[in-house]
């Protein structure tokens, strides 16, 4: 519809229009003179003398109904386009697949050949400038013909290009291929001049081979025009052109894929028929760049490639996958968004076979377009078919808005990601391209192969209660220098940073954590050194390890750490404690990085260590600490360790938990209060208050953060209503309720 608006404005008409959303295209058209209304309304009709509508518009649409009520003349999109084309030498590109690329290629070649054509193409074409253009000087008009609603029969062109004919749009063609053949046949019958057809497509060959004034193209040397592919690269394809089996010359086509070689042959045949020399055609094809969303490379680096393609029919999918595989990626990871319930239902078996050859497939929910759901048909329909047809790894990623999370978490260096579909799955590719760029630049900045950097790391893997959404950027530095560089990098690009330990006192919401999450838990952060009665430990060292090292060296005072599931960094931040001891009781000094990545060291006395909170370590990040113990007999250390272990086993649950949920209020321990309120064993979903200790909420296997948070609020509401006590959480709650990245 935007293309029609461009053409009509170019013809000098006063044009208005309406749509349900604004876009860059509507904004461009407004600058060109369009009177635009959003959303659809009866007022949008205004004083129009003619109303043109697309097949997506049905009775019930406010603007449509207003036009009917006013008795205005109304045309379908194809009828209007055919009327505009009638004043030119029309060239209609038709077929089930490849129309947009071929019509754009034809317009580009004819323009380069000096014919100054008008054009109408169904996508954004950077090389053409706009998707539609009216030329008052040129006599040719290249248009993409749409067969989806049968309106292809409105055209009476001088030239018709028939690319292929397959079962498609079966919601409209209830008689299947018979009805599709009939519509294409009517276009061919209405063509006044030459029919150019792909003889390598069986259906197109049957419809066209016996027609006079026809030109064939395909892979066979028996065709009028044929080709031999020489090389397929990521952004181009080399091939040799033969005319009636005799080599004419070689072409470098500016888009990849053997299917595009066939499209180019159709254009070469047309251009030759119109008298454009081969050298001019070859040069134009070299400079051709495809339409948006046609093997559109969104991101490329030494480690990753992200490609987006509009392909949504099994044949298109196979062709696009073949192009991607011809580039020899280490792994090809596909993300597919099925388009329309009817297409998914009727072509489910073909979809299952179309993905053979990919290493992993992620399938989203169906993009419905204007259709109502069909019971039993969903994205999982395609996933199931693919699993049964040789694709080893198939995953469901229902929500397109978050599909990039599981895909990004799955990726490893060397992967190519291919997003496929006619809906909005390109947003998945765009998100991956954005965040992979940040990740690649981070790795270059760190220059440290020992440091792990990943996208969308599931935080349930890094919390002891095993819940939590993803971290947008996950970094595990192996050295203080890499930690500092990461802080400086994220600060320079305005990305917020959160530092975590082993997640033993942490509850992360289901929407995850936007920005960077840094976990200094490997390399030098795991080191524990002893000198006399003093222990120096990196923040990644577990308290249990510190306790064991102290025991081995005959240093006492660390026995209370044995049963705490966290590490030194989390213990410092929270001033963790047990058995009457707190972390900062033994701290001598702390080394830390500030937000700028600068290293400092301060004595324990310089930190305001409170009950379960050390505010100075919120925006400053500890890297190591020195603790004071005392030389003690092995028997004494063993006895205290056994006491600590026995007490913890008797009073704390074994199931996954985040430790104590609430701080103890004045006058009564939190666990005792929960028990007195009768809330032991209370549950929401798979989250349950432990029967062992009332201040623990355990994950029984499938809990989400939302379940835990809902249970926390139930306890707080009961404590407030029945005892007038405001319970304060000890567990740190971070992250977003809904994903925002």
Helix (H, G, I), strand (E, B) or coil at 306: strand
CA 80 to chain centre: 37
Paired strand residues for 162: 94, 197
Helix (H, G, I), strand (E, B) or coil at 510: coil
Round to whole Å and give the CA distance between 199 and 216. Answer: 6
Round to whole Å and give the CA distance between 163 and 320. Answer: 16
CB–CB of 93/142 below 8 Å? yes
Is 252 part of the annotated catalytic residue set?
no
Query: Which one of the listed residues 88, 99, 466, 551 is annotated catalytic?
Result: 99
Round to whole Å and give the CA distance between 65 and 612. Answer: 65
Helix, strand, coil shares, percent, the chain, to 5: 35, 25, 40
What are the DSSP calls for 430-475, one per residue?
Answer: HHHHHHHHHHHHHHHHH--TTSEEEEEEEGGGGSTT----EEEEEE
Retrieve residue 347's tokens: 């072509």
CB–CB of 356/391 below 8 Å? yes
For 395, phi and psi rounded to 5 degrees? -130, 145
Identify which of 84, 75, 76 has the alpha carbon closest to the alpha carbon of residue 10: 84
Q: Which residue has the tokens 């998100």?
A: 431
Round to whole Å and give the CA distance between 253 and 271. Answer: 15
Query: Which one of the listed residues 100, 101, 402, 451 is annotated catalytic?
Result: 100
90 membership: H or E segment, kind and range: strand 89-94
CB–CB of 62/69 below 8 Å? no
Is 99 part of the annotated catalytic residue set?
yes
Round to whole Å and give the CA distance between 65 and 58. Answer: 9
CB–CB of 199/188 below 8 Å? no
Is the backbone of residue 218 left (phi > 0), alpha (psi -120 to 50) or beta?
A: left
Round to whole Å and give the CA distance between 310 and 424. Answer: 10
Per the document, the length of the chain is: 741
For 55, phi and psi rounded to 5 degrees? -70, -15
Query: Which one of the listed residues 25, 144, 166, 385 is annotated catalytic?
Result: 144
Retrieve residue 501's tokens: 């330990």
Please list the active-site residues. Answer: 99-100, 144
């Amino acid at each position: 519809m935007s293309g029609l608006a461009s053409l009509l404005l170019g013809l000098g008409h006063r044009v208005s229009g309406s749509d349900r959303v604004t876009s860059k295209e509507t904004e461009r058209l407004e600058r060109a003179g369009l009177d635009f209304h959003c959303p659809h309304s009866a007022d949008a009709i205004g004083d129009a003398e003619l109303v043109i509508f697309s097949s997506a518009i049905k009775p019930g649409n406010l603007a449509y109904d207003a036009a009917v009520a006013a008795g205005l003349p109304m045309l379908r999109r194809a009828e209007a386009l055919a009327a505009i084309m009638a004043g030119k030498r029309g060239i209609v590109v038709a077929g089930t697949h490849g129309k947009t690329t071929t019509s754009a290629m034809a317009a580009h070649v004819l323009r380069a050949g000096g014919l100054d054509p008008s054009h109408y193409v169904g996508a954004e074409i950077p090389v053409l400038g706009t998707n539609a253009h009216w030329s008052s000087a040129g006599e040719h008009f290249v248009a993409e013909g749409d067969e989806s609603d049968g309106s292809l029969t409105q055209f009476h062109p001088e030239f018709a290009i028939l690319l292929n004919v397959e079962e498609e749009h079966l919601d409209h063609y209830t008689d299947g291929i018979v009805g599709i053949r009939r519509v294409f046949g009517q276009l061919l019958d209405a063509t006044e001049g030459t029919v150019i057809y792909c003889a390598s497509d069986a259906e197109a060959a049957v419809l066209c081979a016996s027609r006079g004034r026809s030109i064939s193209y395909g892979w066979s040397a028996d065709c009028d025009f044929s080709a031999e592919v020489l090389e397929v690269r990521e952004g181009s394809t080399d091939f040799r052109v033969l005319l009636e089996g005799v080599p004419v010359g070689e072409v470098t086509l500016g888009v990849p894929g053997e299917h595009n070689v066939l499209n180019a042959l159709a254009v070469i045949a047309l251009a030759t028929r119109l008298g454009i020399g081969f050298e001019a055609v070859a040069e134009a094809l070299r400079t051709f760049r495809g339409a948006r969303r046609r093997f559109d490379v969104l991101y490329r680096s030494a480690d990753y490639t992200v490609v987006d393609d509009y392909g949504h029919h099994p044949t298109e999918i196979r062709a696009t996958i073949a192009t991607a595989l011809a580039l020899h990626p280490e792994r090809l990871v596909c993300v597919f968004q099925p388009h329309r319930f009817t297409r998914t239902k009727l072509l489910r078996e073909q979809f299952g076979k179309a993905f053979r050859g990919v290493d992993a497939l992620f399938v989203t929910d169906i993009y419905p377009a204007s259709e109502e759901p069909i019971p039993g048909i969903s994205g999982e329909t395609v996933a199931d078919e693919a699993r049964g047809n040789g694709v080893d790894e198939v995953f469901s990623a229902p929500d397109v808005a978050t599909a990039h999370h599981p895909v990004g978490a799955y990726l490893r260096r060397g992967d190519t990601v291919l997003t496929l579909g006619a809906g909005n799955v390109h947003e998945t590719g765009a998100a991956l391209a954005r965040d992979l760029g940040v990740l690649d630049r981070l790795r270059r900045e760190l220059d440290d192969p020992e440091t792990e950097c990943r996208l969308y790391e599931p935080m349930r893997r890094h919390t002891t209660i095993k819940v939590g959404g993803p971290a947008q950027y996950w970094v595990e530095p192996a050295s203080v220098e890499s930690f500092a560089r990461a802080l400086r990098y994220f600060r320079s690009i305005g990305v917020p940073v959160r530092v975590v330990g082993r997640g033993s006192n942490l509850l992360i919401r289901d929407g995850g954590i936007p920005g960077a999450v840094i976990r200094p838990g490997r390399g030098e952060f795991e080191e524990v050194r002893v000198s006399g009665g003093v222990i120096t430990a990196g923040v990644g060292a577990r308290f249990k390890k510190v306790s064991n090292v102290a025991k081995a060296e005959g240093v006492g005072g660390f026995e209370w750490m044995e049963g705490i599931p966290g590490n030194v960094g989390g213990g410092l931040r929270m001033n963790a404690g047990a058995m009457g001891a707190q972390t900062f009781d033994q701290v001598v000094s702390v080394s830390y990085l500030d937000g700028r990545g600068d290293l400092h060291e301060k004595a324990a006395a310089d930190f305001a260590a409170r009950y379960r909170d050390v505010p100075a370590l919120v925006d400053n990040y500890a890297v190591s600490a020195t603790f004071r113990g005392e030389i003690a007999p092995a028997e004494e250390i063993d006895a205290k360790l056994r006491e600590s272990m026995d007490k913890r086993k008797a009073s704390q649950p074994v199931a996954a938990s985040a430790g104590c949920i609430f701080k103890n209020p004045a006058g009564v321990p939190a666990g005792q209060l929960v028990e007195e309120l009768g809330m032991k064993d209370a549950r929401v979903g798979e989250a349950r208050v432990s029967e062992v200790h009332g201040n623990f909420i355990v994950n029984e296997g499938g809990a989400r953060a939302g379940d835990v948070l809902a249970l926390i609020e139930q306890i707080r509401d009961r404590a407030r209503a029945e005892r007038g006590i405001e319970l304060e959480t000890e567990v740190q709650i971070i992250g977003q309720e809904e994903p925002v990245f």
